[in-house]
Structure 1
Amino acid sequence: MFARLARFVVRHPWWTIVAWLAAAVIIIAFSPKLTTESDQGEFLPSGYESVQAVEIADKAFPEGADLTSLIVVQRTDGGKITPADSAKIAEAAKNLTAKKYPTTHGFLTGPQAVAPNKSIQLINVPMDMAAGEAAQDQSQAIKDIRTELPKQLGSGLEAKVGGEAALFVDNEDSFTQSFVLITVATFALIIGLILVIFRAPLAAVLPIIVIIATEQMSMGLIGAASKVLDFSGDDSLQIILTIVMFGVGADYYLFLLFRYRERLRAGEDRKTALIQAVERVGEVITSAAAAIAVTFLVLMLASFGIFAAWGPSLAIGVVVMGITSLTLFPAILSLVGTAVFWPSKSWKKQPKATTSARLGRMVGARPALVAIGAGALLVALASGAIGFKSDYDFQSSFPSDTESAQATEDMKKGFPAGQNTPVQVMIRSTDGQPLTEGELNAFGQQAKSLPGVGGVAPAQLSKADPKVGQVDLILDGNPVSNDSITMVKEELGPAVHDITPQGTELFVGGETAIYSDINKVVNRDLSVILPVAGVLIALILLALLRSVVAPLYLVPAVLLGFTATLGSAVYVFQGLLGQPGEVFHLPIMLYLFVLAIGTDYNILMTARLREEAKDGHEPRKAAALAVEHGGPTVAAAGLILAGTFSVMLLAKVSMLQQMGFSIALGIALSAFVMAIFLVPAITALLGRKAWWPGHGAEAKEPLKPADTREDFIPTGSR
């Protein structure tokens, strides 16, 4: 199949290019756009209690705001708030309300908003959850409010605006700068490294152009799939898709280009060399793309909607990139020919005594020692995963010198840490009788003594449905810390249910409860996704290698690499840096980029091991040649992807730093430890048994002998 495809694409490049462009234009022009959601609670299954609380609140309090900004007012001299100060603050709130800022529901303050120690006074600003143009209006409203506040308060008072909307405004630049940095770094690394390897500008620029076009085509197909499968993405999907597309696209491009150069050095003409290259890497790219796509599709089994949306979206991107790599890339190379390597002529020469050849000889000569060393390193790192803790405190990961961060700290001078993020208890009558404020207030008095409660806000009775009421419990600790989330899940939640008023039912909601449920659903999803993905990867390897034995050590190696990466993050961030935990979705991110994409390198290496065995080489020699020939490709691809993620360490947001370090290390372990050392060494030790019961070890008529050595880390001097 791949031989026929290779001959058609190489001999009819213009037909291939025109067909691809026509398909791209039709898909981009007529496909619907993917819709996105910002609220993570929207992605929880409806059966969870926190989601049910939100649904009840939406119906009972339709006028309620989605989020609240807080204005923290204090005296410039550090003194206590006086009655005169409170009067000025109330007048300022009234004047700001009259200005009707977009998405705001007014500015609320009063005696109850003065801290018990009179250090500060709060102005609550209920706001709608905004997206698109409304989000821009909301951001401008926050900026305008900050400009207006000093005029309204006059001398002697100062104010800082905090809360979710203000937090977004303050950190939007940090995220934008980080994402721009990642994008620029991706381009620079792909172009720079390929320039170093081949010293050819066209070879370096070509993948950037093709991958960008392929990504646009993929987004059109994802939009269409979202309508058919009824899913929506979150705000991070576009960034993740971009990284995935450039990661796998660069990998497959290098797989093809290295093999093309190898066949040219064997003395074949450029058309024959390209046909041989496409034929040889076609099975590898197809298997790798299938393994990654299937691994992504397993995310559809997730209960958490974000992950379920990532699955088909990323799978579509990878499949389209795989098709592009076997059609458009070869068609363009067929037209360009050896000019892709211009102005360098090193593609005509065979380097001697390369690093990859020396490493290959080491693996072939001492496979047991290499396997033990690589395995011991991965096991040692994996042991750290036992101490993994999730961290949901996104605010602490942002810079602490912004106004919203300072407002949060100032608020703690007079109110519990959870003032702005209460646990929302929804109480609903079950006996058909309306609730009374007395019942709700009595419940609130009982709740004051429950674990972790630092205060209780005045109860609210629904005007739309008098059988529903709301009591907000103010936590005395950080509402999104691991301790608070665990406390709500294991202590406060059950305790609240124990004091449910007679004739009612209650539902515990609010951000802390939502994160508690997210914790449950993420743990559940990982327990389902990892085993299923392992089985499916094993089946794909079985189909590729026609071997029952090889998947039995390749899949555990991939899972060990995943665990070693997670353990390394624990050692660095929880141990060395003393952080409370890792960003809660880090395991899924590692699943996407380490377990899924890292499988590329193992597939490439095992395919090369099988190829060398089929060419008649005994097992240890086959391992040595596989490392010598495949090592440079794996090294180059791994460097590009790991380098891209490592740039995230320069971001100002600590959760991006965690993700950047962890994923970069995971890719490096997959490429440089597993694919180049562990897998070839184990295969050499097993010998011909590794390919049982297939015919991987049966010699066939070898290709024309070629000096195909490459450097382990190639240089432009080649």
Structure 2
Amino acid sequence: MFSRLGRFVVRFPWLVIAAWLIAIVAVVATAPKLTATTDQSDFLPSHYESIQAMDLQQKAFPNSTTPAALIVFERADGAPLTETDSATIVNAANQLAGQNIKDVTAIQATPPSENRLVQIAAVDMTKVTNPSDTRQSDAVKALRTALKQDVNGTGLKAGVTGTAAQTLDQTESGNKALAIIMFATIGLILVLLLLIFRSPVLALLPIIVIVGVFMLVGGLVADVSHAFDLKIDSSVQTLLSVVLFGVGTDYILFLMFRYRERLRAGEDPKTAMVSSVARVGEAITSAAAAVIIAFGALTLSTLGMYRSLGPALAIAVAVTLLAGLTLVPAIVSLLGTKVFWPSKAWQKEPTGARFGAAGAALGRRPGVFAAVSGGVLLILGIFALNFHPTFDMTSSSTSNASESVVYQKELLKGMPAGTTQPSQVYLQSGNGPLTTAETDNFKSALAVKGVGQVSEAKLSDDKTIAEYQVTLSDSPESDAALKTVKGPLRDAAHAAAPAGDKAYVGGMTSVFVDFQAAMNRDYMVVFPVAAVLIMIVLALLLRSFVAPWYLMASVFLGFAATLGAAVLVFQHLRGDSGLIFMLPLIMYLFVVALGTDYNILMVARLREEAREGKDPHQAAALALRHTGPTVAAAGVILAGTFASMMLSGNDMMSQMGFAISVGIAIAAFVMAMFFTPAVTALIGRKAWWPGHGGDAREVDLDSEWARLDPERGTARR
């Protein structure tokens, strides 16, 4: 099949290129705008308590909203606010309200905190539901500009925080991060490909192809999201760009390394490309299938965030694979050997001394290599047991220097940490209108440990539903706040509801509590299903029942080692309270799925060598010699691509970039390069059962080892 595809592409390259250009233009021109949401409640199913509370609020209190923003005032010298300062703050709030800033509906100053270190003004804004609606963000910008003028010369300082301000700062931080990542990724790919192939033509080829693929994928994802009403997380654009550049470059590398090998074997350029597609096509298709399955398995998630992210990334990989098998061969078939210009190094077979020596050593002592590489994975994996998830999305998804983060911390000098995002508790009567005694008793019951303030009850028009604003003592996304809502607050609310009544705890902290429960469920469903499906792909590729088991075991070790490395660096060495809660699933997406690529590439070459009659030790040695450079180059580029996320300036992207880049490095340089071939050599021909690794034949072992490691000459196996 792949041979026929290669012949068609090489025979009709202009037709293939034209088809791609028409597809890109048509999809981009007709696709709706891809919008993203930052509202985490959009991703939870309706049976969770936080969503039921939200539905009840919309039914009974449609106009009841938490202030969109908070203005935090304090003295510039840090001293307590005087009566004069407080009066100045009230006057400043009134002046801001009088300026009629667009989409600011009300500004109301509150009394100073008990210690008089801070005073706040609550800002109501036009309610927005569409994630692409920038009215609140624009209002925050105008408010910040006007605020600077109002406090100038008063001895006060002030800043805007709260939901709308945090959303603005997160968006700006995300856009900056995307620009940095794109620039760093493209620069890294160019530099590394120049070093590997010494050709500007080949260095630019992946960039040009992937930019076109990125445009096509963006349009297709927007079409699918619009058609199925999928909620796209705000990080999808960044992840799509990194996946496309990383995976796309990998697939092009796999093809070009084999193309160069066939040219050196004496084939003409067109025949060499057909041979390359035929030989590499099955391996990269299987690798892509494993990645697509891993991403597609996310549709089993209860979280809309992952149900939409999975198909988006699966589409990206599928289109990238198609480009790697058709568009790239078509372009290269037109260029021929000019694709390597001006370098002539492609004409000469490299000595491969390093990889030849490493392959020879592995072939002689596979047990040592398996024990050392497996030991490294196991030791790092032990640290994964200390993984602690954190839901602090506010500070971790933007710069610590952003105004919303700075003034949220200033707010803590005098106000409960939950002031910016109070929780809502609802009491719904099943026995007619609520009485004053019932609402008062229920309010008293909510004053549990971890709760700073509880407001008076606000009754619905028919007096059957009461709403309480509950300000937590801790930051809404903190571990302590989640613990309060999950335990004492929900328990107290449910227990205090009179017979026949129901109580619901809502708000963002409650959403995070339910998020945690949903993710624990997903870990038990998505991971096993994906593992089984990937094993089926491996079994079909390798025609083996044995190999998929130890390959998946090595992938699991790689996953644990990656998580352990992140825990070691961020929790133990840097002292962070935890890692971002979505990190294990993100690692699953990239480390398990993409890391499997390298295993597949290495084992496919192992099987190829075995089918040519090499014994298991020789096959492992030759596979490392020939495939090691490809895996190393691809691993460096993909790991470097993800490492660029660490330049974004926020903790969430830094943690994700570190974990994924380390995971890819482990997958390439420990798992695929040493652990997998060493274990395969130890198992021997049984690794290919019930198939066979090739017919045994007599081989001059001494000459084989001398060819693999010429510096050492003849050696015993």
Same fold (TM over 0.5): yes
Select the residue among 146, 149, 158 that pairs with 1:148. Answer: 146
Contact 1:549–1:692 under 8 Å retained in 2: yes
Contact 1:130–1:138 under 8 Å retained in 2: no
- In 2, Cα distance between equivalents of 1:681 and 1:114: 68
Shift of 1:405: 2.6
CA deviations over 1:526-576 (Å, ceiling 9, x no partner): 111111111001000011010001101001111211111111111111111
Select the residue among 443, 450, 453 that pairs with 1:452. Answer: 450
User: TM-score, normalising length from structure 1?
Assistant: 0.93
User: TM-score, normalising length from structure 2?
Assistant: 0.93
Number of the residue aligned with 2:268: 269
1:581 aligned partner, one-letter code: G
- In 2, Cα distance between equivalents of 1:633 and 1:516: 44
Q: Secondary structure at the match of 2:427?
A: strand
- In 1, Cα distance between equivalents of 2:587 and 2:34: 24
The 1:41–1:355 alpha-carbon spacing in structure 2 relative to 1, beyond 3 Å, is same
- In 1, Cα distance between equivalents of 2:226 and 2:395: 36
Identity percentage of aligned residues:
47
- In 2, Cα distance between equivalents of 1:698 and 1:132: 61
Number of the residue aligned with 1:294: 293
Number of the residue aligned with 1:191: 190
Shift of 1:248: 1.3
2:488 aligned partner, one-letter code: E
The 1:529–1:460 alpha-carbon spacing in structure 2 relative to 1, beyond 3 Å, is same
Shift of 1:192: 1.0
CA deviations over 1:335-387 (Å, ceiling 9, x no partner): 00000000000111112252111111111111011001111111111111111
Contact 2:181–2:647 under 8 Å retained in 1: no
Select the residue among 579, 588, 594 that pairs with 1:582. Answer: 579
Aligned ranges 1:194-213 → 2 under 5 Å: 194-213=193-212
Number of the residue aligned with 1:649: 646
Contact 2:615–2:696 under 8 Å retained in 1: no
Q: Secondary structure at the match of 1:233?
A: coil
Aligned ranges 1:480-629 → 2 under 5 Å: 480-629=477-626
- In 1, Cα distance between equivalents of 2:93 and 2:129: 22
2:181 aligned partner, one-letter code: I
1:54 aligned partner, one-letter code: M
Number of the residue aligned with 2:232: 233
Residue 18 (str. 1) matches residue 15 (str. 2)? no
- In 2, Cα distance between equivalents of 1:204 and 1:78: 56
The 1:176–1:699 alpha-carbon spacing in structure 2 relative to 1, beyond 3 Å, is farther
Residue 364 (str. 1) matches residue 390 (str. 2)? no
1:577 aligned partner, one-letter code: R
Number of the residue aligned with 2:136: 138
CA deviations over 1:453-472 (Å, ceiling 9, x no partner): 12212332234x53222112
Contact 2:38–2:131 under 8 Å retained in 1: no
Aligned ranges 1:389-428 → 2 under 5 Å: 389-397=388-396, 398-428=398-428
Select the residue among 118, 122, 125 that pairs with 1:124. Answer: 122
Contact 1:424–1:470 under 8 Å retained in 2: yes
CA deviations over 1:124-158 (Å, ceiling 9, x no partner): 113334656642x4333223222323544562443
- In 2, Cα distance between equivalents of 1:82 and 1:32: 55
The 1:617–1:669 alpha-carbon spacing in structure 2 relative to 1, beyond 3 Å, is same
2:428 aligned partner, one-letter code: R
Contact 2:35–2:131 under 8 Å retained in 1: no
CA deviations over 1:429-485 (Å, ceiling 9, x no partner): 211x2335664344223322x12112212332234x532221122211222112221
Shift of 1:696: 3.2
Number of the residue aligned with 2:9: 9
CA deviations over 1:628-667 (Å, ceiling 9, x no partner): 1011111111100101122223332122111111111000
The 1:458–1:97 alpha-carbon spacing in structure 2 relative to 1, beyond 3 Å, is farther
Number of the residue aligned with 1:632: 629
2:74 aligned partner, one-letter code: Q
Number of the residue aligned with 1:714: none
Contact 2:67–2:122 under 8 Å retained in 1: no
- In 2, Cα distance between equivalents of 1:708 and 1:349: 17
Q: Secondary structure at the match of 2:445?
A: helix
The 1:639–1:353 alpha-carbon spacing in structure 2 relative to 1, beyond 3 Å, is closer
Shift of 1:166: 2.1
2:390 aligned partner, one-letter code: D
1:564 aligned partner, one-letter code: A
Shift of 1:286: 1.0
Contact 1:416–1:475 under 8 Å retained in 2: yes
Q: Which moved more, 1:168-177 or 1:520-529?
A: 168-177
Q: Secondary structure at the match of 1:400?
A: coil
The 1:34–1:403 alpha-carbon spacing in structure 2 relative to 1, beyond 3 Å, is closer
Q: Which moved more, 1:298-307 or 1:565-574?
A: 565-574
- In 1, Cα distance between equivalents of 2:641 and 2:67: 35
Number of the residue aligned with 2:322: 323
Q: Secondary structure at the match of 1:118?
A: coil
2:21 aligned partner, one-letter code: L
Shift of 1:598: 0.9
Number of the residue aligned with 1:713: none
Aligned ranges 1:665-684 → 2 under 5 Å: 665-684=662-681
2:502 aligned partner, one-letter code: E
The 1:284–1:84 alpha-carbon spacing in structure 2 relative to 1, beyond 3 Å, is same
Number of the residue aligned with 1:314: 313
Q: Secondary structure at the match of 2:249?
A: helix
- In 2, Cα distance between equivalents of 1:478 and 1:33: 35
Q: Which moved more, 1:545-554 or 1:79-88?
A: 79-88
Shift of 1:296: 0.6
Shift of 1:680: 0.5
- In 2, Cα distance between equivalents of 1:497 and 1:6: 66
Q: Secondary structure at the match of 1:506?
A: strand
Contact 1:546–1:693 under 8 Å retained in 2: yes
Structure 1: gaps of 5 or more residues: 711-718
The 1:308–1:170 alpha-carbon spacing in structure 2 relative to 1, beyond 3 Å, is closer
1:671 aligned partner, one-letter code: A
- In 2, Cα distance between equivalents of 1:263 and 1:558: 31
- In 2, Cα distance between equivalents of 1:698 and 1:222: 47
Contact 2:295–2:589 under 8 Å retained in 1: yes
1:481 aligned partner, one-letter code: S
Shift of 1:67: 5.3
Contact 2:35–2:132 under 8 Å retained in 1: no
The 1:67–1:632 alpha-carbon spacing in structure 2 relative to 1, beyond 3 Å, is farther
Select the residue among 436, 455, 472 that pairs with 2:469. Answer: 472
Shift of 1:263: 0.6
CA deviations over 1:205-229 (Å, ceiling 9, x no partner): 0111111111221222223323443
The 1:66–1:10 alpha-carbon spacing in structure 2 relative to 1, beyond 3 Å, is farther
Shift of 1:97: 2.5
Shift of 1:9: 1.0
Shift of 1:173: 4.3
Q: Secondary structure at the match of 2:469?
A: strand
Q: Secondary structure at the match of 2:421?
A: coil
CA deviations over 1:232-268 (Å, ceiling 9, x no partner): 3121112111111111111110010000000111111
Q: Secondary structure at the match of 1:235?
A: coil
Shift of 1:415: 1.6
Q: Secondary structure at the match of 1:106?
A: strand
Shift of 1:94: 3.0
Contact 1:378–1:560 under 8 Å retained in 2: yes
Number of the residue aligned with 2:379: 380
- In 1, Cα distance between equivalents of 2:460 and 2:553: 55
CA deviations over 1:80-136 (Å, ceiling 9, x no partner): 4455544443333333223333343311234xx32123332211113334656642x
Counting matched residue pairs gives 701
The 1:508–1:335 alpha-carbon spacing in structure 2 relative to 1, beyond 3 Å, is same
The 1:170–1:21 alpha-carbon spacing in structure 2 relative to 1, beyond 3 Å, is closer
- In 2, Cα distance between equivalents of 1:130 and 1:143: 19
Structure 2: gaps of 5 or more residues: 710-717
Residue 30 (str. 1) matches residue 9 (str. 2)? no
